[in-house]
Structure 1
Amino acid sequence: MQQSSAFVNWFRNSSPYIHAHRNRTFVIFFSGVAVTEPEFDKLIHDFALLKSLGVRLVLVHGIRPQVDEQLLQQGDTPKFHHHLRITDSATLQYVKQAAGLVRVEIEALLSMGVSGSPMAGAKIRVASGNFVTAKPLGVLDGIDYCHTGKVRRIDTEAINRQLEQNNVVLISPIGYSPSGEIFNLSAEEVATEVAIALQAEKLILLTEQTCSSPIDNSPIPQLTSDQAAALLQTSPALPDAVARSLYAAIQSCQQGVRRAHLINRHLDGALLLELFTRDGIGTLISSSEFETIRTATLDDIGGIMELIKPLEQQGILVKRSREKLEMEINDYVVIERDGLIIGCTAFHVMQGYQYAEIACLAVHPDYRNGARGNRLLEYLTSNAQNQAIKRLYVRSTQTMHWFVERGFNACEIQDLPEPIQSAYNYQRNSKIFYKDIH
């Protein structure tokens, strides 16, 4: 029974993300190494699940180990410069073979529909094609890259047409020139350019390692694109694959992709945990702060009501109707975390007085150890200073010590300004505190 309850709670908590992701375009990169491993079918099952939930899915795969294997079998040595393959005419043949083999393997896995398996009834149609126009990389540092190229243009119209027909789009790291030449491309670059061209909701990079802090090796949950760029500059010891994925994430976020995620693919179910849980399991990159404090809008009322309802039921907060919230919404401040309201408070300024009252301060139970209550209070204090407010008041029945610890002093009902005093609820018998603003 406990297991069933945990599943129900998880499923309910995932519903905001299911709604948010529906009809959004996700570009997902995974390496050629991933394709070679026995557990790859689980990743395919997760792709199928995303598709069933209405995600517009573009998959970009790598082929590096497959090409290396064919070169070594022929007694040739793979040649790289700055992590890019030097693709001579012989190597280009292996690139074409590897791209074809890997693409067919992925298509076969996406076509599975065995009864009783996670793919049962999926009926996924896969579209591949010449979506990427490329040009030669040329000569860099005196090195001729031969048939290694770079992305010149993405055929967004053709990709969108396939997505609108409910197909999964599968793209290999191969590009074509208008003159019919074929170029070997970096799969990370292809995924990045596709995500930018489509203005995708997310670029998801399935990495071979976790993106971790170089200081204590702890996983990094989130970064802005500026912070990620600083990490690249100051941490030369980052694993090459992680560094390349970070660079791809930065490029995409700086050019219109809302979110990029680095996810260690070796963690079973990591893709689902990252996309359908509050805190995820990978590293989220965004151009702006992932968690912000801002003035509330009417669109936030549902989130505020969901946040404060348990506290109202416990008697910690006074009950507020939706109509009252709508009337006072301009007084509210919220903490938004990736589209979810995880904290709120109200700041009622007494017109004609140099006083204001703090009310309805609440933080989601899962986030109460992150000093978010302090951040809300600091935000209100800053607002008070900007508006020349001299004193803050607060009424509380169960969190008195929290306010006292932050410099509030107790006072009596008769000490309150008339507007607050006339609204005092004697039935609740709240304690009253104030703090002078300097």
Structure 2
Amino acid sequence: MHLWIADGDGIQEWEAGVLRLLTSGDTRAAAVVADVSYANREQLDTAWWRLLRAGLFWSGLILLAPHQGDGDVAERVWKVWLARLRRFPLRTPNATPDDLDFKRVAAGQARLDFQRRMRLYSAGDQTWRGKPERERGGLLDGHFLEVLFNWLIDGVGTGDRELDTRLALRIWDYDATRAKAREKKEDGEYDLPSQKLGYNILLKLGVLSIAAPEGEARAIWEPVLSHGPAAHYALQHFIHGLFLRLGKGDDPVAFERVWRATAEYSLAGDWSQPGLWFYGERLICDLLGFGNEDALSRLNPGAALRMKDIYERWAATHLGHHEECVTRFCHFLTTNFGAPIRLDGLRWLATMQREPSGRWYREDTGNALVELVAAALSSDTQALSQDAQARQALVEIAAALAAKNIPTALALQERIRRQL
């Protein structure tokens, strides 16, 4: 690697050696090539991008390696492909990051794979599989790509935030296309993100979203959230990664700006597709911070109140859609972070309960309502004594609990009578 980087005598020989290491199938060797080239990227200049491009080609070609029983023809074709890649020139003046087109390479892999399967079928081999069909999308070796682009996915990147963002979005676009191409036909549910490439690039996009200047973050998070509940595995991981950033010391003001924008986006979108609506409701709850109250407590004081209008809009349109929404909202209101809007939450819950869709049947929902009423009686007695609407909401919720024969409901009603 260092002899090739030095660009001295015998560079052709060292370049060939570098390509053989990169395409050897040995992950440790590839990691050395990736690490040394990244550390010397300024000296390599355009050759660094060419090396990454060669690695990108290899991530597709390695999946076309012949298997036992494929025959001599498949072996010969594979050797031709490999020899061409190992002659790939790395020292050219016109290479740019835009040459790293993940989706195009994946499409090429799919085309070559189809041709290979057709050759085997036409030769009378593997006819038991039936006539091959073209597959949508294409595949790349995610494990190899994670090694090749570790400096971007888990490292500090190039130092150019815009460039890192472009590259990360291209990796996500490839993985989302792959997941969509392998969706479940009955409801359109995407396949899981790639291990570990897909999951880790989602975390990186969370980092980049919060680091983006004001007004530029949407261009990063929207390409993820726009896939909606069909890609719920990916979206849940992305949302979880966003909240993790608060524990990593990211700017709380920038986080709150992104948090609010993503929550508003989810409420404005149509995430109620048949067969997937439940995932849509769960994702919206995730974006509202339900279950991440400890992380949210790191925000500047008053964050819950600043988000009150968002919670109110959600409660008016989503609270009665599913019991899990009620359960998660109740738990949220019992936390220190949710406490500032606890009385508002009681009113919203009582309003929902009056509607025909507000009936609940699960034991967990009743228990969550009991915990909420108990928390309000323990911590908000004075505020309740001055808020007639909140008191009435508390009485109505306790009455509903008693009507459901919840064991502690009568005791709660007695506490309300004594304290208020």
Please report the TM-score for the alignment, with normalisation by the length of structure 1.
Answer: 0.31
Compare relative contact order (CA 8 Å, sep 6+) and give the higher one, 1 or 2: 1
**Larger helix proportion of the pair:** 2
**Larger strand proportion of the pair:** 1
